[in-house]
Structure 1
């Protein structure tokens, strides 16, 4: 790992000012992903700006929105009584991610900014368009068991690794970012990017901006929520397939529903067509099966990950069934 300069700041304004002074600098909070990338030589910032003392750790209800500061830890969010009451899906997703020790230091903003866990991305001896644009994608035709089945391109088939982000896209979260001129809002579904021809760009955050907070509208999806994560071992493993479900059921019919998947695309994958199909229909296994078929439109395997084409719809059905069963 190269030598780097370390700076500490206590306000968003000063953090942004420091960022503008050096284009090869990065913010650091928990550092649970950034430090790994630096150790592997995947990224080599010359300056780290410690933002842990910036006051962005709030978790509160303001009007009909739940506000979560970018520096709130994953554990603090998952264990917060307001989140468990109003947004249990988010708490479930956070508790499914990483280990307890990592959740204690990982932040909401850092979770959103984490990069893919594709082995070729981490191996600096292998071609990777995400790490070195134009070098090729070794995962296409290589070992791609963990890789994407939706929204892929010939440039990259990596997946976004976050559990939290799958829940947030299902919950219609809004990301508030700031630069020195002020704030702007990004719908969570638009924050992360598909690989396309620019897989090196994970999201739509500009180089002079930082994440300030999340705003999540209150909803009535809490009772029948579920986060189902299929993985190779019971803990500290990334999703092969994950499904976030939030349903509002009245007299046996689905009045509202949110569905999203993880482990399947370069960004958290919202299942809007399946949602539209389910709204107003009976919460039945037959309708869940039909929704799962609609959700799989456009899916494509790359050999070793072909099993996801069957695992994904089965996981959707199981996630919906469990959500329905909750009293």
Structure 2
């Protein structure tokens, strides 16, 4: 149904859909679960008396937040049973998302992993306040807390995130240069070139979900990472190549093994050096890297 010919409830939902998806995804780190939350939001929204709604955006965000909180609590059990490290589901995003610094930072794989360290309520409050600039009163309605309690939660969550977020963010151009240097080093199998672009304490996290080969725990240190990549490729007799792409608003690489698409590599870049690599190989998490996902904070 076109938005022009839709009823008011449908038109309002369609107008806010990209925002609602972004809210749900940033709270959950899973596009599949975010889509389920939007379906649940829609089913509740169509039962609402539209004449009693003063602010459609705030009301829809409130429903979405509540459903996402419910989903977060059930996801905890899934993550505990997950094989190996769990990474957020990567999203292919338009190249210009990287130029929207606020959106790109809030959706980056590095930030999404920091959000994973918050409690469900802390994550909801932080996301709504810091990323989407929602007022404390509206957040209180969404999470079932008083405005004063929400302010305290927001303060606590902000301190927690600030202690763990990338400290020296770089420009999109600098990030692209670092990622391109990494790509050339991998494809040429040049260990020194790879060491030159990696921070000494770089951390690699790989997510195979028990389906694809992946490191069972994070790999820390540039020397170990070089051995993991180049030594692993030589040991298994495979050829690794990479195609530039944009994932979660950040420069990334589509990984190919012997010419076949095999996963996505996202990066954390600080002071022109790569400090974090996040490899997603689990096929169930790669369904949103073929088509751009529209995201928005407003």
Normalising to structure 2: TM-score of the pair?
0.30
Structure with the bigger RCO (C-alpha within 8 Å, sep 6+) is 2
Q: Kindly indicate which of the two structures has a greater share of residues assigned to strand.
A: 1
Normalising to structure 1: TM-score of the pair?
0.28
